[in-house]
Amino acid sequence: MKKLFLIESLVLVMLLSSCSNNICSNEIRYSLDSPNGEYTAYTFTRNCGSTTKKGYHLTILDEGEHLKNKSGNIFVTYHKFEFAWVNEKEESVN
């Protein structure tokens, strides 16, 4: 009886831990370095499965930092957009 309870408990833990996996994924559309080279802007789509809409995201990171599987940190929309650097500290989103 104890052995069966232990096996059931392990199976339950495995099932619950597999439910918490991140099903979202990012696909980079393009990246663009700032004029002074300090930052890199990434525009990407984020897909979190068939029950959600695909989102379009903008993230700006320090040069050399890699895009992680997270939402954008500057701009998020459900519509395609274009990005450009205006200068070292300003950007334009259309």
pLDDT value, residue 51: 85
Q: What is the pLDDT of residues 14-46, one digit of tens each?
A: 444 444 457 899 999 999 999 999 999 999 999
Q: Is 57 a domain residue? A: yes
Domain range for residue 74?
A: 23-93
Burial (CB count <10 Å: 0-12, 13-18, 19+), residue 12: exposed
Q: What is the pTM of this model?
A: 0.73
Q: Is 54 a domain residue? A: yes
pLDDT value, residue 89: 84
Q: Is 12 a domain residue? A: no
Q: Is 8 a domain residue? A: no
Q: Is 11 a domain residue? A: no
d(CA 60, CA 41): 4
Domain count, the chain: 1
Q: Is 15 a domain residue? A: no
Q: What is the pLDDT of residues 38-48, one digit of tens each?
A: 999 999 999 99
Q: Is 1 a domain residue? A: no
d(CA 55, CA 34): 23
pLDDT value, residue 15: 44
Q: Is 13 a domain residue? A: no
Q: What is the pLDDT of residues 2-16, one digit of tens each?
A: 565 555 655 544 444
